[in-house]
Amino acid sequence: MRWQTLWQAKWILLVLVLASAVAWRLAPWLSVLPAALLVFTLYFFRDPRRQIPEGEDLVVSPADGRVTDIEVMEESEVTGRTMRRVGIFLSVFDVHVNRAPAEGRVVYTAAHDGTYHDARSPMASTHNAARTWGFDCEGTVLVVRQITGAIARRIVPWALPGDRLARGQHFGMIRFGSRTEIYLPLDAEVSVSIGQHVRGGETVIGQLQAGAKLVAAPAIPGEVSA
């Protein structure tokens, strides 16, 4: 377990440890619930090692979860191009660390305020609070969106504009159930299907066309949104 991931749970863990101790002093059976929540919190904030696949132009899943949709649509925030979106729903039982889909440089990141619909709702993609990332992968720009849910209301960014990340390297996390989307070029080969469960940094979700160039990388923003 990475301490960077576990650190995001510090206040939750502190409250649950204190609650368990107080409940135990009052009556041992009262400590069962806070102790169970403590164990679940440690489980939720786990960050297992992953076998990052090797190979030219491979794109790995940026998140653990179930593929809910694969659609062709306009990606207007970063590239201004029509792209293929792969949506991934993360339940509270999935690992919530997000990983870079391919080796590349962070060229864009911005947070967006919004509502907190259930991450399985079609409205979550367009209405919920989110953070968008742009990765320049040797001239091909991949876009990833972290989207909050009804329970997940905090997105934690770890990477900064200008950072160069390896394929499968951590760039942030979403706390509790949520949604992650990745936008691929239309000529990329998609190798996952709706309903499939994927593992962040490990499951290959697509392959870029060798030497294909989508769009020149946008300029790095002078200031990153909080």
Q: Which residues are catalytic?
A: 178
**Angstrom distance (rounded) from CA 152 to CA 129:** 10
**Angstrom distance (rounded) from CA 19 to CA 21:** 5
**Angstrom distance (rounded) from CA 191 to CA 93:** 24
- Count CA atoms within 13 Å of residue 106 on its CB side: 24
* Identity of residue 137: C
**Angstrom distance (rounded) from CA 218 to CA 53:** 28
* Partners of 181 in the β-ladder: 87, 145
**Angstrom distance (rounded) from CA 59 to CA 103:** 9
- How many residues are given for the chain? 226
Which parts of the chain are beta strand (E)? 58-60, 65-75, 81-90, 97-99, 104-112, 130-137, 140-147, 155-157, 164-165, 170-174, 178-184, 189-190, 197-198, 204-207
